[in-house]
Every structure is written in C-alpha cells, then in structure tokens.
Structure 1
Amino acid sequence: MFGLANPDRFMRFTGPLVPVLWAVAIGLLLWGTALSFSVPEDYQQGDTVRIMFIHVPAAIVGLGAYLALGVSSFFALVFRHPLADAAARAAALPGAALTALALFTGSLWGKPMWGTWWVWDARLTSVLVLFLFYIGYMALRSSIDDEQRASKAAAVLGMVGLINLPIVKFSVDWWNTLHQPASLIRSGGTSVDPAYLPALLAMVFGYGLFFGAIWLTSIRSEVRRRRVLSLKARAAQYA
C-alpha cells in the first residue's frame, strides 16, 4: 500500500484497475436495480420500501467516502504527500453527492413513514452536518489561491470532520430518534428481510465500487493536472 504512495507506481497499478472497477460497478448497479424492482412490496411501507435500495447505499458509501477524505487529509498534512492530498480532494465531490442523495431520498422516505419531510432528528442532523463538512472542505480549497495553503487548511478541516463519523453511526443508539436503528451492519447479524437482502447488498457494493471508480479516476486526473502545472512552471523558469 505504501509503495503505491509513489505517483508513478500508483498510475501504473491503477491504469488497468480503473476500467475493471467501472465495469463491475455498473454491472452490479444494473443487477441491483433489476432486483429492487422484482422484490415484493413491504406489508407496511408498500412500494416506498424500494427507496431503501438508493438511500441506504448512498448513506453508507457517503460516510465511507468521508472516512477516505479524512484519512487522506491526515497523511497529506502529517507526511506532506501530494498523492494523499489528491486523494482527499478527489473524494470530496462524489462523497458530497452521495450524502446529498441520502438526505434527499431520506426525506422522500420519511414523508410517508413519519408524516414529515424533515425533523431535527439526531441521525438526520448529523448527516446534514456531514454534508456541510463536505461543502466546507470544497469551499475552503477553492477560496485560497495558494494551493499549498489551501491543501493544509482543507486537510485540517477534513480531519476535524472525522469526529462526526461515529456520531452519525451511533446516533440512533445514543439518542431517542425517529430513524430506525442499524439493520444491515450491526452486531448479531442483519435484520433485513431475506427477500430484500440480495438487492440491497448488490446496490451497496455497486455504490461502493462506483465511488471507488470515480475516486481513482479523479486521483489520476489530479496527478496529471499537477504534472502539467509542474512542467509549465519549469518551462517558465527557462523562458
């Protein structure tokens, strides 16, 4: 893993990997979508249960994406490694998009189930805070012209945001909330109905690999961008 911290090795290793990730991710998403329309209606929720196959994977992977951003920020700040900084930067936009999707689909699901689009519930509020950390990270990077200063400031914010991850995860256990407790990933095994489990797992892994494909593609693009900037800077010195 640490050998891949070298940009040249990283580019060589991920070159053939990225197309495979894209292909497997799209295949899983298509298969999971087909399964989600073939499962029976829930006896209480009816057809609205199908929102689960979008909402739950988006929430899980959105949380994981911020973990990738925060850990990458740590390595970028402590070890000053440009590839770690590129990884943190690349995780921000897809992570924010997934978290926004989780919030949106959660509201769609909450209206028929709870009778309201939004409540200041511990889980909902902590996920909103997670989304704001994503937005703050991207805004901070874009607001500072000096790229090194921007990466350091954003890395600090990215690491601070890690504090919110256990709050998101355990909010349903620590406080009384409208949001149901964990059902897919929990001690004692899943409580998801076996009729829905294959479709849900296919979508979770599909979303995860889809994020991975976007993330690696974005890191590779960032590495190329920085190489071009470096070449331009060297050319300007000799001009």
Structure 2
Amino acid sequence: MWSYFANPERFDRLARAILPWCWGIAATLFAIGLPWALYFSPEDYQQSDTVRIMYVHVPAAWLAMFAYGGLGGASFVYFIWRHNLADLAARAIAPAGAVFAFICLATGALWGRPMWGAWWVWDARLTSMLVLFLLYLGYMALRAAIEDEKLSARAGAILAMAGLINLPIIKFSVDWWNTLHQPASVFRFDGPTIDPSQLWPLAIMALAFTVLYLALILTQMRAMLMERRADALERRRERRLELEAEL
C-alpha cells in the first residue's frame, strides 16, 4: 500500500485533482468563519472582545501539534521504508508547522497581556509550545546543515521522531502541572464546556485552518517534485554534453 501511494506520478495526479477543491473549500470556510468569529460571535463576560483572539490562537495551536504529528509520522515512514515521498512530505510540513506554532505563540502573547498582565510567563503549556516551535526550527536547520541528502533525511527523521514526546506534554501540561493556562474546553471526555455560540465559529475556523494546511502541504510537495525533476533533467543534459565532448 505504501508503495502505491509513494509513487510520485500517482501523488502528483492526486494532488493536482485535490488542490483546487482545497483552496476553494478553505476560502469558503474563512469567508464564513472570520466574520462569524470576529463580528457576530458574542463577547465573553470576563474577557470582552479579547476572546476573539481565540478563533485564531486555538486553531493555530491545534494545527501546530497536528502538523508535528504528521512530520513525525512521515519521518517514521521514511526511516523504516525509505520512501522518498514521505521525506518530501516531512520537508514540506516543517515550515508550515513552524508558522502555525509561531502564530500560536504570538497570538497567545497578545491574549495573555490583558488576561495575565504579562506578554510571556514560563507556564508549562507556553514553554512546551515554545519547545515545539524550536523543534521545527531545529529540524529545518539540521536538514539545511547536512549536504548529503540521504544522511540529512535520516538525521532529520530521528530528530522529528524524538520530538514526538513533546506532543503529549503539550496536551496534558495543564493537567500535570499547576499553570496559568486554562484547561481543555473543547476536547474533553465529558464534552465541550464552551458555549455553542462560540464553539461553532471556532470549529469552522479550525476546519478552515486544516484545509488551508492541507493545500499548503500539497502545493509545496508538488513544487519540490517539480524541482527534483528539473534537477534530474539538468544532470542528464550535462552528462549528455560531457559524452558528446568526449566523442
């Protein structure tokens, strides 16, 4: 099964068919979610309009963690089965995940300032999210620092898989330690505690971010595939010219 989906030509055909739908669905969801979240959803009785930061902050946090799960999963597939498309997926995921992690941290600082009286505190949830952001940066720096492509891919895969231990720490940090960050209010065993008037726009924004993420990853992977093909054609042309020169 992995070999079937790891075929670059099959992937390119599938991505080319899916991408227009992804961009269209993402645009539609944002067109619905943004006005609903920023204008039509009610104010919070304690936080007032500041609560609207939630509609960007929370989806960005979810996507940062989801993307790292994808990075670790793709790295595992490459490390075990050596499928180049999995390594390509990992390379495409890393910058997108880093952007989502940065948005999460930046919006968290904007949200924390009026709520906690500080832009940053060394809270368990905030610190573990910062570690996630640094893991993304470390992965990209490691890949760029090693010239040998196969060695770079293996080293990056090991780092990405090791970093997966941080995901449960982020998730359960508010339960394991006494933190300023509020506990989970959506994904709970006893159901969401957030009011439906805020839950629905939050869900739409989260879905919009997710479809946007998928579109970005597929676009980046297609661009990398085309770059590889161009490099291969250039090397083939250079070899042909060298042979003709020898003759």
Q: Same fold (TM over 0.5)?
A: yes
> What is the deviation of 1:231?
2.0
Residue 160 of structure 2 is aligned to residue 166 of structure 1: no
Residue 56 of structure 2 is aligned to residue 54 of structure 1: yes
- Alpha-carbon separation, structure 2, partners of 1:226 and 1:164: 32
- Alpha-carbon separation, structure 1, partners of 2:181 and 2:26: 29
Where do residues 37-186 of structure 1 align in structure 2 (5 Å cutoff)?
37-186=39-188
- Alpha-carbon separation, structure 2, partners of 1:235 and 1:70: 36
Residue 15 of structure 2 is aligned to residue 14 of structure 1: yes
> What is the deviation of 1:184?
1.3
- Alpha-carbon separation, structure 2, partners of 1:236 and 1:152: 29
Amino acid at match of 2:14: F
Cα deviations across residues 195-224 of structure 1 (Å, max 9, x unaligned)?
101110000000001000000111111111
> What is the deviation of 1:143?
1.2
Residue 35 of structure 1 aligns to a residue whose secondary structure is: helix
Cα deviations across residues 54-81 of structure 1 (Å, max 9, x unaligned)?
0000000111011111110111111111
Which consecutive segments of 4 or more residues in structure 1 shift more than 4 A? none
> What is the deviation of 1:88?
0.1
- Alpha-carbon separation, structure 2, partners of 1:174 and 1:6: 43
> What is the deviation of 1:28?
0.6
Residue 22 of structure 1 aligns to a residue whose secondary structure is: helix
Work out the number of aligned pairs and report it: 239
Cα deviations across residues 4-27 of structure 1 (Å, max 9, x unaligned)?
211111111111101100110111
2:27 matched to which residue of 1?
Answer: 26
Amino acid at match of 2:166: N
> What is the deviation of 1:41?
1.1
- Alpha-carbon separation, structure 2, partners of 1:237 and 1:106: 53
Structure (1 or 2) with the larger CA radius of gyration: 2
> What is the deviation of 1:153?
1.2
Residue 165 of structure 2 aligns to a residue whose secondary structure is: helix
> What is the deviation of 1:172?
0.8
Cα deviations across residues 86-121 of structure 1 (Å, max 9, x unaligned)?
000000111100000000101111111111111111
Amino acid at match of 1:168: I
1:4 matched to which residue of 2?
Answer: 5
Residue 198 of structure 2 is aligned to residue 196 of structure 1: yes
Question: What runs of 5+ residues in structure 1 fail to find an aligned partner?
Answer: none
> What is the deviation of 1:169?
0.7
> What is the deviation of 1:237?
2.8
> What is the deviation of 1:191?
1.0
Residue 197 of structure 2 aligns to a residue whose secondary structure is: coil
Residue 224 of structure 2 is aligned to residue 216 of structure 1: no
> What is the deviation of 1:189?
1.1
CA-atom RMSD in angstroms: 1.1
- Alpha-carbon separation, structure 2, partners of 1:81 and 1:8: 14
Amino acid at match of 1:12: R
> What is the deviation of 1:235?
2.6
Which stretch shifts more, 127-136 or 139-148?
139-148
> What is the deviation of 1:233?
2.3
Which stretch shifts more, 59-68 or 225-234?
225-234
- Alpha-carbon separation, structure 1, partners of 2:232 and 2:87: 16
- Alpha-carbon separation, structure 1, partners of 2:142 and 2:154: 10
Amino acid at match of 1:30: A
- Alpha-carbon separation, structure 2, partners of 1:208 and 1:187: 23
